[in-house]
């Protein structure tokens, strides 16, 4: 008994797309199992906004987020848009206190959940957590996290992380180092 035809029948039954593939000269497969929708930039940003509101615990519509780079590291800042919005102000401060504790321990799960990917720089920031400092500072309308390090590799990772945050949150902040006062 010839087993090759039987193997082909089983393979085609198990992998129906193999039977539907176009010749290699045609680049696009016709099998729906091969088609994966990649989100557009707008869909990705909307996901970041939605997941951000859930993970951070405050509304992107009622607050403004900034990411700034400097020669010592940088700053993550969020403030309530309205000075009288005590709820957003307290939600920001609570979230940032939690983030300072998590980041200092090398835990970057919150940014991963918000961005649906591991943000650039976080692996090095985890590994080098002992040489990076995170300081929570309250502001009139929210809070900021000041991130500092003297380690060149950690500094590059912090800058990479903050640049990614700026781009993915579409804050419009500069990707360059801020001038020192």
Question: How confident is the model over 76-109, as pLDDT tens digits?
Answer: 999 999 999 999 999 999 999 999 999 999 998 8
Of 124, 96, 115, 94, nearest in space to 165 by CA: 115
Sign of CA dihedral 59, 60, 63, 65: positive
CA 108, distance to chain mean position in Å, is 9
Would the pLDDT of 26 be above 50? no
pTM for this one? 0.71
Per-residue pLDDT, 165:
87
The two structure tokens encoding residue 127: 């590994």
Check if the beta carbon of residue 108 is closer than 8 Å to that of residue 122.
Answer: yes
CA-nearest of 133, 132, 129 to 107 is 129
Residue-wise pLDDT for 106-126, tens only, equals: 998 876 666 567 889 999 999
Rounded to an integer, what distance in angstroms lies between the CA atom of residue 148 and that of residue 158?
Answer: 9
Half-sphere exposure of 175 (CA within 13 A, CB side): 10
List, in order, residues 6 or more apart from 9 with CB less than 8 Å away: none
What is the structure's pLDDT at 112? 66
Per the CB < 8 A criterion, the answer to whether 146 and 75 are in contact is: yes
Residue with tokens 């961005």: 115
Q: Measure the CA–CA gap between 157 and 126, rounded to whole angstroms.
A: 10
Block residue for tokens 């943000």 = 119
């Amino acid at each position: 008994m010839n087993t090759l035809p039987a193997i082909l029948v089983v393979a085609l039954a198990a992998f129906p797309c193999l039977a539907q593939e176009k010749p290699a000269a045609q680049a696009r497969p016709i099998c729906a199992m091969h088609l994966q929708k990649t989100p557009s930039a707008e869909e990705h940003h909307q996901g970041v906004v939605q997941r951000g509101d859930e993970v951070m615990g405050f509304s992107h519509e009622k607050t403004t987020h900034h990411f700034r780079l400097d020669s010592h590291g940088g700053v993550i800042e969020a403030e309530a848009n309205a000075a009288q919005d005590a709820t957003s102000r307290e939600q920001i401060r609570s979230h940032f206190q939690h983030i300072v504790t998590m980041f200092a321990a090398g835990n970057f799960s919150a940014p991963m959940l918000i961005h649906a990917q591991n943000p650039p720089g976080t692996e090095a920031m985890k590994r080098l957590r002992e040489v990076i400092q995170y300081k929570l500072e309250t502001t009139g309308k929210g809070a900021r996290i000041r991130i500092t390090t003297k380690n060149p590799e950690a500094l590059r990772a912090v800058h990479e992380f903050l640049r990614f945050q700026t781009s993915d949150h579409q804050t419009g902040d500069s990707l360059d180092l801020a001038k020192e006062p």
